[in-house]
Amino acid sequence: MVKVEELGNGAYRIPGRTIVGLICIDKECYVIDTGLDDDQGRRALNVVKSLNCKLKAVLNTHSHADHIGGNNFIEKRSGVDIFGPLEEIPYIRNPKLEPVMLYGGSPVPELLSKFFMAKPSNAKPIENVKLPVKLVDLRGHSPGMIGIQTDQVFFVADAYTGINILSKHVIPYAYDTESALKTLEFILDTKGLLYVPFHGEPSEEPEEEIEANISAIKRTKETLLKALKDDLSTCQVISRVLSQLNVKIRDAALYFLYESLLKGYLSWLKRDGLITFKIEFNKIIWTLIKA
């Protein structure tokens, strides 16, 4: 029997490595993200069946492999439509783009596991379909991530993670941390909902968790700026920031994830006019802009 937790007002969540959400209205059910793999997809279908509902569609919040991993299974098994944010569609339809994006070229085999590359599915833009839920722009963690909201429940995808997971990873993953920070501040300004992160626990008072995510971003930004008291190559910046934040890289895939994340910080600080780079001996050398 698959465990399912009722959140109220026809909303549910299925616990797992990544949460799978459900919204059921008049016996018609929308699955929100499909977890990491076929197994999580199968479990979602079983839950829909156990609730005596008809599966209407899959709604993807974003294209990360641990959120679209069950799409292919559900699409084949049920034939329902899969919808996702327009900017995420290329990644859902062609999941190799995710490791390509992280690596910045033809990816090493370490990035081709199911944790970074899901099976493809034929997703269509969610903006073009009428749905009985509100779609909320939560970009930053990924290029076009959305949240999905009912009157009472707000599925916030990966806009923030629970404190335990955050302390394990130290730096919250974001494609574009500047936008991710604005998204966190936007969620802090909303009130009166049950907030459901996909790596964490639901809460009506998520302020402490959101603040912890914001602090982790600010700490990373400050550490990076301090590291640049010396001019450093991209590799040196990454190594110095991770060491100072006490991040221990255990495998190559994780290295490329942090590298991509911190390169996003470097772009952000360069856009803000705080740092710049020069090219020296065929290397990019980052340097502080002194006021």
Chain residues binding Zn ion by CB under 5 A are 64, 158
Sequence-ordered list of residues with C-beta below 8 angstroms from that of 78, at least 6 positions apart, any chain: 45, 55
Of the CA atoms within 13 Å of residue 60, those in its CB half-sphere come to 39
Element (H, E) at 148: strand 146-149
Nearer to Zn ion, 64 or 139 (CB): 64
Nearer to Zn ion, 64 or 119 (CB): 64
Q: How far is the CB of 287 from Zn ion (least distance, A)?
A: 32
Residue 219 CA to residue 223 CA, distance in Å, equals 6
Least distance between Zn ion and beta carbon 62 (Å): 6
- Please say which residue, 75 or 98, places its beta carbon nearer to Zn ion: 98
Q: Among residues 160, 157, 161, 159, which one has the least CA distance to residue 126?
A: 157
Cβ pair 234, 225 in contact under 8 A: no
Residue 199 C-beta: closest distance to Zn ion, Å:
8
DSSP bridge partners of 283? 280
Query: Which positions ≥6 away from 230 have C-beta within 8 Å?
Result: none
Contact 166, 206 (CB under 8 A): no
Please give the residue whose beta carbon sits closest to Zn ion in the complex.
64
For residues 158 and 178, which CB has a smaller minimum distance to Zn ion in the complex? 158
Please, which residue, 173 or 265, has the CB nearer to Zn ion? 173
143: Cβ contacts below 8 Å, ≥ 6 apart? 87, 88, 175, 176
Q: Cα 246 vs. chain centroid, distance in angstroms?
A: 23
Question: In angstroms, what is the minimal distance from the CB of 158 to Zn ion?
Answer: 4
CB of 77 to Zn ion, least distance (A): 24
CB 55, min distance to Zn ion, A: 23
Which CB sits closer to Zn ion, 176 or 227?
A: 176
